[in-house]
């Protein structure tokens, strides 16, 4: 599928194995989500536009590609997407953060929006939507819908574990959006949880339940 990248890198895979384990505690889970997010960001921004600058080294002038200030906006989907923000900030320390509050209705598994606050000027930035879990794809699709309604033109979605159903749905709804996933899992279960997955990402990240 065009615009869909499953990273499958050994360094990421190793950390995802630890993340999945039911014996991984909240502190370790939070650290792993952040570490994986740094690695995903490195991959997802391979194509970021650069500008050429001249730098005086101790020996001569070097011409080097750099990234323009303020070219990225980080958009976590609450709650679990929050765990990925620090990882992206490690590589884009000055990026502004917009929040989209969304939860899945327990009966229907459809997303319910409860909050949205975005930085100014998203129409001129690359928006990176963060959510560790892409299950049915409903939450990510709704978040991208919101960003597009608010004027965003360049959007990437970054997930740690994705179900085939979610990747297909997100790609079909928004074929222009670049999707990056650390790993692709087997399937959804009857409750639309990812198998083998890692359980409920928000609960594991914040120690609820």
Catalytic positions are 104, 108, 200, 203
Is 162 a binding residue for ligand URA by CB under 6 A? The answer is no
**CB of 104 or CB of 168, closer to ligand PRP:** 104
Is 131 a binding residue for ligand PRP by CB under 6 A? The answer is yes
| Residue among 146, 166, 167, 197 that touches ligand PRP (CB under 6 A) | 166
Three-state secondary-structure class, residue 148: helix
DSSP 89-136: HHHSTT-EE-EEEEEE-TTT--EEEEEEE--TTGGGSEEEEE-SEESS
Is 138 a binding residue for ligand PRP by CB under 6 A? The answer is yes
Q: Which of residues 184-203 bind ligand URA (CB under 6 A)?
A: 193-194, 197, 200-202
Is 157 a binding residue for ligand URA by CB under 6 A? The answer is no
| Residue bearing tokens 């990273």 | 7
Q: Which of residues 55-94 bind ligand PRP (CB under 6 A)?
A: 77-80
Q: Tell which residue, 150, 78, 90, has the closest CA to residue 114.
A: 78
Is 202 a binding residue for ligand PRP by CB under 6 A? The answer is yes
> Any residues with CB less than 8 A from the CB of 45 and at least 6 apart, and which?
72, 91, 126
CB 104 within 8 A of CB 139: yes
Is 75 a binding residue for ligand URA by CB under 6 A? The answer is no
Question: What are the angstrom distances between the C-alpha of 12 and each of 183, 195, 201?
Answer: 9, 18, 17
∠ CA 175-5-158, rounded to 5°: 80
Which listed option, ligand URA, ligand PRP, none, makes contact with residue 139 (CB within 5 to 8 Å by class)? ligand PRP
Part in contact with ligand PRP (CB under 6 A); list of ranges 19-27, 33-41, 129-137, 176-184: 129-137
> Any residues with CB less than 8 A from the CB of 153 and at least 6 apart, and which?
123
Which listed option, ligand PRP, ligand URA, none, makes contact with residue 76 (CB within 5 to 8 Å by class)? none
Q: Which of residues 20-59 bind ligand URA (CB under 6 A)?
A: none
The residues that touch ligand URA, with contacts defined as CB under 6 A, are 133, 135, 193-194, 197, 200-202
């Amino acid at each position: 599928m065009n615009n869909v990248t499953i990273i499958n890198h050994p360094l990421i895979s190793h950390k995802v194995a630890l993340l999945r384990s039911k014996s991984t505690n909240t502190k370790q889970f939070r650290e792993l989500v952040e570490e994986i997010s740094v690695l995903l960001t490195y991959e997802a921004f391979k194509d970021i536009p650069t500008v050429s600058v001249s730098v005086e080294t101790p020996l001569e002038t070097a011409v080097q590609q750099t990234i323009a200030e303020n070219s990225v906006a980080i958009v976590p989907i609450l709650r679990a997407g929050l765990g990925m923000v620090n990882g992206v900030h490690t590589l884009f320390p000055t990026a502004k953060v917009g929040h989209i509050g969304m939860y899945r209705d327990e009966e229907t598994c459809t997303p319910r929006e409860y909050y949205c606050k975005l930085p100014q000027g998203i129409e001129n930035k690359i928006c990176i939507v963060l959510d560790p879990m892409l299950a049915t794809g409903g939450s990510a699709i709704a978040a991208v819908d919101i960003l597009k309604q608010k004027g965003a033109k360049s959007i990437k979605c970054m997930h740690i574990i994705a179900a085939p159903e979610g990747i297909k749905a997100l790609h079909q709804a928004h074929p222009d959006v670049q999707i990056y996933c650390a790993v692709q899992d087997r399937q959804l279960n009857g409750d639309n949880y990812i198998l083998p997955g890692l359980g409920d990402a928000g609960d594991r990240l914040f120690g609820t339940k």
